[in-house]
């Protein structure tokens, strides 16, 4: 089957970038553009495999191959077979793979930077990080912060051109609901349990709030390698009665609707889904100043932005919101208004396709 748009992604597990790809596929005219997805590290049970197939989008993978070189050859053969007009690497570490698979062909090839630029390079390791930073020569960032970081780097191993297409969300799925006036106040964190997400800061904040006699509980939705370590930290801090580790949750919108405040503590971000989803549901967000968070949240109007690693500021703004449900409601209403104006999926599709056209794609 010939396709017009081929997306290469690292995996189809529960991450934010995977969700964004599903959003794009769902919102585009699939009959017209005939998209397909290739998965570098495929697992049949990954949650978004079924989601994408249900859209009628074919999913390709590289079975029974242990060698990276052999997988590279299979991907190049897949490109030749499908003859896509655009190959878009959706994960940073697959950028060079997409470039190599299209080298010497007429396909337009684009890369992605979906988090903090320097963190992404480091996370991939020296060789893969450097290669994926330079090739393809044109890459799409989901945050202005990442694009600015590329420009400041001015290094040989960096893309020649970066364009920004911020994430979008489904405003029908993430619907507005009134902030509950219940006790204890429920605080929600959403994301992988990884070191870069700095969940330790939320746990330390909960310890301080408990010492001050503030009536609140925290829920953390997400899986990851740090779960046991974070559970042990909660035990050491004496807050096991104040923190719940929920694991993966399918219906995040419902969980947000039951919370009063959403807290986001990451050290490195792009354009985080969790912040946008919380705002769309009408919840004030307290978040660290990483990636484009300062652009998403209007400090003092739709939530609060605090310096990275500053647990004292985190506690201060959480306590202020816990004490004032009317402030939470005003901020939540303002957050929904902003979400409706700039977070929609039509904008995501439109801006993504504008980059394709600017790269020479003819619809």
**Tens digit of each residue's pLDDT, the chain (363 residues):** 679 999 999 999 988 999 999 999 999 999 999 999 999 999 999 999 999 999 999 999 997 777 889 999 999 999 999 999 999 999 999 999 999 999 999 999 999 999 999 999 999 999 999 999 999 999 999 999 999 999 998 889 999 999 999 999 999 999 999 999 999 999 999 999 999 999 999 999 999 999 999 999 999 999 999 999 999 999 999 999 999 999 999 999 999 999 999 999 999 999 999 999 999 999 999 999 999 999 999 999 999 999 999 999 999 999 999 999 999 999 999 999 999 999 999 999 999 999 999 999 998
Residues 6+ apart with CB under 8 A from 287: 263, 264, 265, 272, 275, 293, 297, 303, 304, 305, 306
Give the whole-angstrom CA distance, residue 360 versus residue 107. 10
Tell me if 4 sits within 8 A of 84, measured CB to CB. yes
Q: What is the pLDDT of residue 248?
A: 92
Q: Which of 130, 92, 133 is nearest to 270 (CA)?
A: 92
Q: How far is CA 345 from CA 28, 173, 214, 238, in A?
A: 9, 11, 38, 43
In CATH, what is the architecture of 185-342? 3-Layer(aba) Sandwich (3.40)
* Token pair listed for 219: 């829920």
What are the start and end residues of each CATH 3.40.50.2000 domain in the chain? 5-168+344-358, 185-342
Fold classification of 5-168+344-358 is Rossmann fold (3.40.50)
Cα dihedral across residues 101, 83, 160, 38: positive or negative? negative
Can you give the pTM of this predicted structure? 0.95
Rg (CA), the chain: 21
**Which DSSP symbol is given to 299?**
B
């Amino acid at each position: 089957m010939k396709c017009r748009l081929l997306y290469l992604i690292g995996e189809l597990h529960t991450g934010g970038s995977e969700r964004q790809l599903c959003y794009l596929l769902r919102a585009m005219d699939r009959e017209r553009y005939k998209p397909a997805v290739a998965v570098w590290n495929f697992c049949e049970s990954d949650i978004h495999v079924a989601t994408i197939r249900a859209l009628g989008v074919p999913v390709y993978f590289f079975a029974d191959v242990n060698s990276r070189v052999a997988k590279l050859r299979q991907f190049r053969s897949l490109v030749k077979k499908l003859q896509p007009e655009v190959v878009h690497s959706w994960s940073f570490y697959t950028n060079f793979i997409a470039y190599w698979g299209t080298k010497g062909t007429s396909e337009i090839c684009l890369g992605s930077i979906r988090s903090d630029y320097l963190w992404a390079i480091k996370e991939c390791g020296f060789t893969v990080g450097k290669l994926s930073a330079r090739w393809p020569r044109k890459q799409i960032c989901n945050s202005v912060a990442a694009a600015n970081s590329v420009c400041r780097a001015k290094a040989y191993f960096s893309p020649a051109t970066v364009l920004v297409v911020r994430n979008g969300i489904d405003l029908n799925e993430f619907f507005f609901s009134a902030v509950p006036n219940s006790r204890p106040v429920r605080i929600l964190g959403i994301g992988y349990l990884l070191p870069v997400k700095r969940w330790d800061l939320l746990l330390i904040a909960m310890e301080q709030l408990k010492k001050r006699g503030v009536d609140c509980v925290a829920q953390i939705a997400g899986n990851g390698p740090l779960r046991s370590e974070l559970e042990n930290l909660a035990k050491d801090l004496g807050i096991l009665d104040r923190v719940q580790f929920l694991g993966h949750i399918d219906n995040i919108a419902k969980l947000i609707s039951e919370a009063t405040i959403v807290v986001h503590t990451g050290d490195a971000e792009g354009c985080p889904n969790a912040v946008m989803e919380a705002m769309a549901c009408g919840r004030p967000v307290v978040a660290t100043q990483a990636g484009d968070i300062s652009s998403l949240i209007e400090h003092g109007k739709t939530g609060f932005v605090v310096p990275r690693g500053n647990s004292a500021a985190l506690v201060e703004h959480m306590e202020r919101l816990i004490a004032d449900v009317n402030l939470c409601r005003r901020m939540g209403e303002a957050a929904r208004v902003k979400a409706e104006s700039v977070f929609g999926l039509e904008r995501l599709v439109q801006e993504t396709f504008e980059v394709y056209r600017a790269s020479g794609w003819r619809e």
